[in-house]
Amino acid sequence: MNSFWSMSTSSGRKRSESEDKNVTGEVKASPPRTASAKKQLPSIPKNVVPITKPVSPVPSVQSTNGTHASYGPFYLEYSLLAEFTLVVKQRLPGVYVQPSYQSALMWFGVIFIRNGLYQDGVFKFTVYIPDNYPDGDCPHLLFDIPVFHPLVDPVTGELDVKRAFTRWRRNHNHIWQVLMYARRVFYKIDTTSPLNPEAAVLYEKDVQLFKSKVVDSVRLCNSHLFDQPKIADPYAISFSPWNPAVHEEAREKMLSQKKKSEDQHGKGLHVSGLSWWSPGSVQPFSKKRNPCTPNSMKCCTHCDVRK
């Protein structure tokens, strides 16, 4: 039995008839069951600090997840830990996130765009998770600097996440999907019901002017790349200019690990032996045999000639 659960004393095992009878044949009356005869959670450990709530620019919603009020914060923290594990396993290309030190309800992230209209863009963002997660609304994603994009609010920098997640479904929708959506909007432009009407109209009517404004937006974001994080948090993502004394050693380690991984991968793909397939053919044993030379003293694998 799981030690996390404890049974009340009145909910013991059912006695047999032989146990209910004494030696004189009298039947003992079983004590009536009480309403307290059910599984109960142990008390909350002392000196345990529950998860804290970050200062979010989006309105909060009261928790309705049905979990006992005393255990809500711990259940929430477990859910967020599982969500971050899923993000790590997905290995989203060009997307990096880090939960806040102050609160697990706030994640810092950055997206690197490698091609397309927003090529070379480096966009830092913050994810705000509702305190009734995963039974509430979908998480909110706000860029530190508003990106010129039809789905990004030009004032607040918030991405229209509800477009893709109109109703957040527990155990079906996950935070890694929000991050993947945030990456995809820069490669596939959608102009329906935009948060930035100007960007949507330019994309539809004047693509060249739209590209020009996108380039300016990318430059603006990159120019503030080395700024201090807006939120004072030791886990907030920050960048610093290249310093060989600091970064060269880390760079060499990363390159050596990559080379080692490629070498191991190459060795794993090496196949020894002979192929009996002719180039460009799908017919087995279509390759012609080469007879052994007369001076050969060894058995050739291409024919049955032995000397």
Domain spans, the chain? 72-224
pLDDT at 116: 93
Residue 306 pLDDT > 90: no
- 208 CB-side CA count, 13 A: 0
DSSP 46: T
Nearest Cα neighbor of 125 from 97, 83, 148, 102 is 97
d(CA 244, CA 264): 29
Residue 20 pLDDT > 90: no
Local confidence band at 57 (pLDDT 50, 70, 90 cut-offs): low
Local confidence band at 253 (pLDDT 50, 70, 90 cut-offs): confident
Residue 171 pLDDT > 80: yes
For 83-96, how does the pLDDT look when each residue is reduced to its tens digit (9 = 90+)?
Answer: 999 999 999 999 99
Local confidence band at 71 (pLDDT 50, 70, 90 cut-offs): low
d(CA 127, CA 182): 11
Percent pLDDT > 90 in the chain is: 45
pLDDT at 288: 63
Of the options 3.40.50.1950, 3.40.50.300, 3.10.110.10, 1.10.230.10, the CATH number for the domain spanning 72-224: 3.10.110.10
Asked if 165 contacts 127 with a C-beta cutoff of 8 angstroms, the reply is no
pLDDT at 292: 52
Helix or strand holding residue 81 (H, E): helix 72-90
pTM of the full structure: 0.64
Name the one residue in this structure whose structure tokens are 């291409």: 302
Among 118-127, 134-143, 296-305, the range with the most confident prediction by mean pLDDT is 118-127
Residue of 264 and 299 predicted with greater confidence: 264
d(CA 252, CA 232): 31
Mean pLDDT of the chain: 76
Local confidence band at 115 (pLDDT 50, 70, 90 cut-offs): very high
Residue 295 pLDDT > 60: no
pLDDT at 12: 41
What's the average model confidence in pLDDT over 125-134? Answer: 90
Residue 163 pLDDT > 50: yes
pLDDT at 76: 83
What's the chain's Rg over C-alpha atoms? 32
